[in-house]
């Protein structure tokens, strides 16, 4: 009799457990894809091999080691130039459906132009593409991920309108050589970053400190380069390869929270950092956001400038840029609190035009530096903002990630990934068309000015080992499980399992006691 009671009790508990764990798991939509991202300068190394030309990052790190936290550079990085097979092993282990990597422009065009095409460089990327396809992984190529050929920097890079033609010729080469097999293209990685920090704040190469003038000029030329490339693809290659090929752009942004619910200020921040690039491409009427143009024009007037620092595109450009993307690659890392500016800035600058202050929030989970708070709700809110503003556009999360010191038992990265995937699911459920998640990054790599002091990889790389050994982290095992089950496994699962386990043991003890 007793044992019957125990059996009934145990089955009930088992049922409750199954119920508990399955009710916590949310499914990703059928066509949703999982991948991971990387970039050439951050992983390849081989900086002077097989005819590669110099990029601004080679010159910057070699000439200014003091600008990099550990005085390092990407000369060898994770040595993916020689070790792609090991990256591929990780890609397969994870079960990735997409792999996003970038082409080093000076590896295929050492001078940034058609005068010399480096066949060895083409061969390298051909082999990556073929190996990915053989493994059933869809390659996604970023054409520009911060590594401008130094030769083009000598003629002022993105400040010179001829960058439009140079970029078009470069993309023509890539479409021509790889377009038969590659169907997913991203023209620029984080256009705002390229322009603001390369030509405004001087934080990144080419370290031009001309906030409020050169950063806008860069944005203007970059958007035009993007649109011309999009047109080239549609006119010359789309039919040729009779494909479903897609060309997009990767834009990054943080969401802003206001303590006082100042939605106007939040909106202003988002327009200055995201709308300035997104609206010309994705906005129904195209063109720069009103608020941005209006403020800049007012400040031009105040400063007595006789030329506009940013003016609306003429109708030809406006129409060419408008609609020039098949998807938005969106990249999100963190958010900020936004506040009205405390004291009026003087002179000309982006900061003065934008006219807001930002801070962190002690309630958010802090990251390795104050730059990296984990704010998953910001991702959901910004996705909703984008979809409300630009309608039913396709969005792929082409980057999202967590920095640490390189721990292999990286629980905080597991939690970060889980929480951000939950935000994505929330956004999808409220109607935002997010079609993929490609977290940053497949392997640890050279983190720009932070050198090797901050790590983002799902796989660790031992940078002190000449073989650059890769090791799977806990986050890789977690992500693999999510990809396999296509479910948002709760961080969940570990916490829930232990919670339900304790509950089970308790009930059993009580049950046994009751039946005695």
Q: Which residues are catalytic?
A: 190, 399
Which is nearer to ligand GAL, 73 or 189 (by Cβ)?
Answer: 189
Q: Is 72 in the site for ligand GAL (CB under 6 A)?
A: no
The verdict on 190 binding ligand GAL (CB under 6 A) reads yes
Which sign does the torsion angle of CA 250, 436, 368, 275 carry? Answer: positive
DSSP string across 303-352: TT-SS-SS-PPPHHHHHHHTT--SEEEEE---EEEEEE-SS---SS-HHH
- Return the number of the residue (196 or 309) whose C-beta is nearest ligand GAL: 196
Across-strand partners of 374? 365
Of 256, 440, 463, 478, which lies in the binding site for ligand GAL, with binding defined by CB under 6 A?
Answer: 440
Dihedrals phi, psi of 71, to nearest 5 degrees: 55, 25
In sequence order, what are the beta bridge partners of 65? none
Near ligand GAL by CB under 6 A: residue from 410, 447, 473, 489: 447
User: Shortest gap between Cβ of 37 and ligand GAL (angstroms)?
Assistant: 8
Q: Rounded to the nearest whole angstrom, what is the least distance from the CB of residue 341 to ligand GAL in the complex?
A: 25
Least distance (Å) between residue 38 CB and ligand GAL: 8
- The C-alpha atoms of residue 464 and residue 396 are separated, in whole angstroms, by 35
Position 142 contacts ligand GAL (CB under 6 A): no
Least Cβ distance, residue 447 to ligand GAL (angstroms): 5
* Contact between residue 141 and residue 182 where contact means Cβ atoms under 8 Å apart: yes
Quick one: which of 58, 150, 271, 399 contacts ligand GAL (CB under 6 A)? 399
Q: Which stretch binds ligand GAL (CB under 6 A): 49-57, 188-196, 217-225, 424-432?
A: 188-196
Select the span of 105-113, 359-367, 440-448, 506-514 touching ligand GAL (CB under 6 A).
Answer: 440-448
Q: Prior bond to 208 cis, omega within 30?
A: no
What is residue 249's three-state secondary structure?
strand
CA dist., res. 44 & res. 398, Å (int): 19
CB proximity list for 331: less than 8 A, separation 6 or greater: 189, 190, 250, 251, 252, 253, 397, 398, 399, 400, 440
Print the binding letters for residues 448-487 with ligand GAL: x by CB under 6 A, - otherwise: x-------x-------------------------------
Q: Which parts of 259-395 fold into alpha helices (H)?
A: 263-270, 276-282, 290-302, 315-321, 350-354, 376-390
- Residue 379: count other Cβ atoms within 10 Å of its Cβ: 27
> In whole angstroms, what is the distance from residue 372 CA to residue 264 CA?
25
Residue (21 or 453) nearer to ligand GAL, CB: 453
Say how many residues make up the chain: 516
Q: Please say which residue, 149 or 439, places its beta carbon nearer to ligand GAL.
A: 439
CB of 237 to ligand GAL, least distance (A): 26
Tokens 């994705």 map to which residue?
282
By beta-carbon proximity to ligand GAL, the closer residue of 41 and 178 is 41
User: Judged by CB, which is closer to ligand GAL: 55, or 500?
Assistant: 55
Residue 39 interacts with ligand GAL (CB under 6 A): yes or no: yes
Q: Which of residues 241-300 bind ligand GAL (CB under 6 A)?
A: 252
User: Quick one: angle between helices 474-485 and 411-429, nearest 10?
Assistant: 30
Separation between Cα atoms, residue 446 and residue 441, nearest integer Å: 11
Which range touches ligand GAL (CB under 6 A), out of 59-67, 186-194, 205-213, 255-263? 186-194
* Binding residues with ligand GAL: total (CB under 6 A): 11
Query: What's 149's DSSP letter?
Result: B
Scanning residues 192 to 221, which ones bind ligand GAL (CB under 6 A)? Answer: 193
- Interacting stretch for ligand GAL, rule CB under 6 A, among 55-63, 189-197, 339-347, 419-427? 189-197
User: Smaller CB distance to ligand GAL: residue 42 or 423?
Assistant: 42
Helix (H) or strand (E) holding 514: helix 493-515
Is 404 a binding residue for ligand GAL by CB under 6 A? The answer is no
Instruction: Decide: residue 196, CB within 10 A, 0-12 exposed, 13-18 middle, 19+ buried.
Output: buried
Query: Two tokens at 270?
Result: 């988002």
**CB nearer ligand GAL, residue 28 or residue 272:** 272
3-state DSSP assignment of residue 398: strand
Work out which of 138, 171, 189, 214 binds ligand GAL, going by CB under 6 A: 189
Q: Which residues bind ligand GAL (CB under 6 A)?
A: 39, 42, 189-190, 193, 252, 399, 440, 447-448, 456
């Amino acid at each position: 009799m007793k044992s019957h009671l125990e059996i009934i009790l145990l089955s009930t508990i088992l049922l409750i457990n199954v119920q508990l764990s399955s009710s916590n798991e949310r499914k990703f939509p059928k066509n949703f894809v999982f991948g991971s991202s990387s970039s050439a300068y951050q992983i390849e190394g081989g900086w002077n091999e097989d005819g590669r030309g110099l990029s601004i990052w080679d010159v910057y790190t070699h000439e200014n080691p003091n600008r990099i936290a550990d005085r390092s550079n990407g000369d060898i990085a994770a040595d993916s130039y020689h070790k792609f097979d090991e990256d591929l092993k990780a890609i397969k282990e994870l079960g990735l459906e997409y792999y996003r990597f970038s082409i080093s422009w000076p590896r295929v065009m050492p001078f940034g132009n058609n005068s010399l095409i480096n066949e060895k460089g083409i061969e390298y990327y051909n082999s990556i593409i073929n190996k990915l396809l053989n493994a059933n992984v869809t390659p996604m190529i970023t054409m520009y991920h911060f590594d401008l050929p130094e030769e083009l920097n000598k003629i002022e890079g993105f400040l010179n309108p001829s960058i439009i033609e140079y970029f078009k010729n470069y993309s023509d080469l890539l479409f021509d050589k790889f377009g038969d097999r590659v169907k997913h293209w991203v023209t620029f990685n984080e256009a705002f970053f390229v322009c603001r920090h390369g030509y405004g704040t001087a934080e990144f190469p080419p370290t031009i400190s001309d906030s409020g003038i050169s950063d806008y000029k860069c944005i203007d030329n970059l958007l035009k380069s993007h649109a011309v490339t999009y047109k080239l693809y549609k006119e010359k290659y789309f039919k040729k390869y009779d494909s479903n090929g897609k060309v997009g752009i990767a834009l990054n942004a943080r969401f802003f929270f206001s303590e006082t619910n100042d939605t106007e200020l939040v909106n202003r921040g988002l327009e200055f950092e995201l709308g300035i690039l997104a609206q010309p491409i994705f906005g129904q009427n195209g063109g720069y956001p009103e608020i941005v143009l209006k403020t800049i024009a007012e400040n031009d007037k105040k400063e007595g400038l006789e030329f506009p620092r940013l003016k609306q595109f003429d109708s030809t450009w406006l129409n060419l840029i408008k609609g020039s993307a098949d998807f938005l690659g969106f990249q999100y890392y963190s958010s900020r609190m936004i506040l009205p500016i405390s004291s009026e800035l003087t002179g000309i600058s982006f900061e003065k035009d934008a006219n807001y202050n930002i801070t962190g929030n002690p309630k958010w989970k802090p990251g390795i530096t104050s730059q990296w708070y984990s704010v998953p709700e910001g991702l959901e809110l910004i996705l909703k903002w984008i979809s409300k503003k630009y309608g039913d556009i396709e969005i792929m999360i082409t980057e999202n990630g967590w920095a640490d010191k390189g721990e292999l038992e990286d629980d905080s990265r597991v939690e970060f990934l889980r929480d951000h995937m939950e935000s994505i699911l929330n956004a999808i459920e409220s109607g935002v068309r997010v079609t993929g998640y490609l977290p940053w990054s497949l392997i640890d790599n050279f983190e720009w000015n932070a050198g090797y002091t901050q790590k983002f990889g799902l796989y660790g790389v031992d940078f002190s080992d000449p073989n650059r050994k890769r090791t799977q982290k806990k986050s890789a095992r977690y992500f693999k499980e999510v990809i396999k089950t296509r479910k948002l496994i709760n961080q969940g699962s570990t916490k829930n399992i232990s919670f339900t386990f304790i509950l089970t043991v308790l009930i059993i003890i009580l049950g046994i006691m009751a039946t005695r």
